[in-house]
Amino acid sequence: MEITIGAKVEDKNGKPVGTVNNILRDTWTSEISKFSVKTELAETDLFYSPGEISETSETRVKLNVALGEVNSSIQYGAKVFDKNHQYIGTVDYPINDSLTGEIKKFKVKTKSDVEFALFSVADVEKIVPGEVDLKITAE
């Protein structure tokens, strides 16, 4: 599989996501480990892994996830809200499973900028670009 910088990215339903603007490769194998997508849907770039791709061409990348699905990537800097839509903080660090590369947990920098909270993907109700909504309350 080859991905080209500047290729248009769309979700599994054909909805435009943005364009590939950076490709991260494994140091040992040179295989693509992640790629970032410049988008107008969020304040920061979105990151995807090769496992989230269904098709590629020189000019297009089609994902196998739809925007808003829980299994789509939890992005650094996304705002996190509890089930009452109370703002908790921002995603500071997604934690990937070392074998599969899937995000299992994510660290959230809270409003106080001093404390951190740790959440599981099982705590997530939905994800939209730039936002993570939880099934649980902040208390």
pLDDT tens by residue, 61-88: 998 877 765 445 687 788 999 999 999 9
Distance, CA of 128 to CA of 43 (rounded, Å): 12
The domains found in the chain, sorted by start residue, are 8-63 (2.30.30.240), 79-134 (2.30.30.240)
Q: How far is CA 57 from the centre of its chain?
A: 22
pTM confidence score: 0.55
- For the cut 70, the answer to whether the pLDDT of residue 114 exceeds it is no
pLDDT at position 39 is 83
What percentage of the chain exceeds 70 in pLDDT? Answer: 85
Q: Which residue has the tokens 């990937």?
A: 96
The residue type of 113 is D
- For the cut 90, the answer to whether the pLDDT of residue 8 exceeds it is yes
Instruction: Judge contact between 50 and 102, C-beta under 8 A.
Output: no
Grade residue 101 by pLDDT with cuts at 50, 70 and 90.
low
What are the phi and psi torsion angles at 10 (to 5°)? -130, 155
